[in-house]
Amino acid sequence: MNRKFKKCLITGITGSGGSYLAEYISKYEKKIQLYGFYRNQKKLEMIDSTVRKKIKFKKIDLMSYKKIKQNINEIKPDLIYHLASNADVRKSFDEPMQIINNNYKITINLLEAIRSSKINPLIIICSTSEVYGLVNKKDIPIKESQRFNPASPYALSKVYQDLLSQIYFKVYKQKIIITRMFSYINPKRTNLFQTSFADQISKLEKKNKKGNFLYHGNLKSIRTFISISDAMRAYWLVAKKGKIGEIYNIGGNSVVSVGGILKDLIRRSKIKIKTKVDKSLIRPVDVTLQIPNSKKFFKDTKWKPKMKLNESLDDLLNYRRKINSKKI
């Protein structure tokens, strides 16, 4: 199986994940016309300027079913990646209604707009390992059949998206594939703990503030990590080779704690770094084990991580150094 596409639409294209995916497809699949739904004009800068010129952007509030339907019918994409979501896990504890309402409404609006249109695109629903939530050691590594046990309002909103998409596949025969991505190194998104660590280190280095602290939350959570390039390649391969109706865990083999990531990044620092707990970063409930079984994805797409964790951390810190050198 090796599907080909002419028009690819990415929802949330100005988010960190969406922007990286657009850049990846633009680089490796030059014949595909890219379209992107976005909401915030300022965030267009998230996408590389040379790639931006190749994308046909549509400024849309995904809370508007009417606008989505209108634009879906105009574009007629044969591939849609649904990446749009408010993905701030910590914020979801403080504003659960806003996060849950947004994430469920934009998803049902999109799927209904597609159902009522005259097109039948392949839809990649980009879910998350957060849907598994609190998992017992006996259930590690986590399989796709693992029951949902969300540990945050954000995770609950993604459970809804996930289950809703399963219904639209079963009942309405939409061509849907669901991915549940585990942790990946994402240099653009500073509200992820690993990116926050690298961002703080680069700022302290720039100011040469040796006495200042790096602030962190829970360091005991254990996860696996893949590089941003491996994650985007996985998203593309699932569209090309994934089986319609399937759910895929996507994750690597590099098992490490959050504290381990922090130590690895501090070792790369040019100055001495002190650390301190910031209570505002502590989640009321936190996932402790996020180790995937990705064998089904490996088998169906032949994907495997290429970049080592050490290389990804080097790239992460250097990216934040470059960004902050322009700001300070």
Which pLDDT score is estimated for 207? Answer: 86
Helix (H, G, I), strand (E, B) or coil at 84: coil
In a domain, 1, yes or no: no
**Model confidence pLDDT, tens digit, residues 7-54:** 999 999 999 999 999 999 999 999 999 999 999 898 999 999 999 999
Same domain? For 142 and 203 the reply is no
Same domain for 22 and 132, yes or no, is: yes
Co-location of 94 and 234 in the same domain: yes
Is 301 domain-assigned?
no
Say whether both 150 and 216 belong to one domain.
no
- Per DSSP, the three-state class of 157 is helix
Q: Is the pLDDT of residue 98 over 60?
A: yes
Say yes or no: 215 and 93 in one domain. no
Residue 254 pLDDT grade (very low, low, confident, very high; cuts 50, 70, 90): confident
pLDDT digits (tens, 9 = 90+) for 47-86: 999 999 999 999 999 999 999 999 999 999 999 999 999 9
In a domain, 239, yes or no: yes
The owner of tokens 């585990």 is 182
Give pLDDT tens digits for 282-296.
999 999 899 999 999
Has residue 211 got a pLDDT over 90?
no
**One domain, residues 67 and 180:** yes
Same domain, 53 and 34: yes
The mean pLDDT of 287-313, rounded to a whole number, is 96
State the amino acid at position 297 in one-letter form.
Answer: F
In a domain, 232, yes or no: yes
Same domain? For 20 and 150 the reply is yes
Please give the backbone phi and psi of residue 243, each rounded to the nearest 5 degrees, phi first.
-85, 130
First to last CA, the chain: 49
SS3 sequence of 8-64: EEEECCCCHHHHHHHHHHHHHCCCCEEEEEECCHHHHHHCCHHHHCCEEEEECCCCC
Q: What integer pLDDT is reported at residue 209 of this predicted model? A: 65
Is 136 within the bounds of a domain?
Answer: yes
pLDDT at residue 263, as a whole number: 97
Whether 154 and 204 map to the same domain: the answer is no
In a domain, 106, yes or no: yes
Q: The domain spanning residue 319 has which CATH number?
A: 3.90.25.10
Burial bucket for residue 40 (CB in 10 Å: 0-12, 13-18, 19+): exposed
Residue 210 has what pLDDT? 63
Domain containing residue 171? 7-185+226-252
- State CA 98 to chain mean position distance: 19
Same domain (yes/no): 139, 151? yes
Looking at the fold, whether 126 and 204 belong to one and the same domain comes out as no
Average pLDDT of the chain is 96
**89: domain CATH number?**
3.40.50.720
Do 261 and 275 share a structural domain? yes
pLDDT in tens, 142-190: 999 999 999 999 999 999 999 999 999 999 999 999 999 999 999 999 9
Amino acid code (one letter) for 84: A
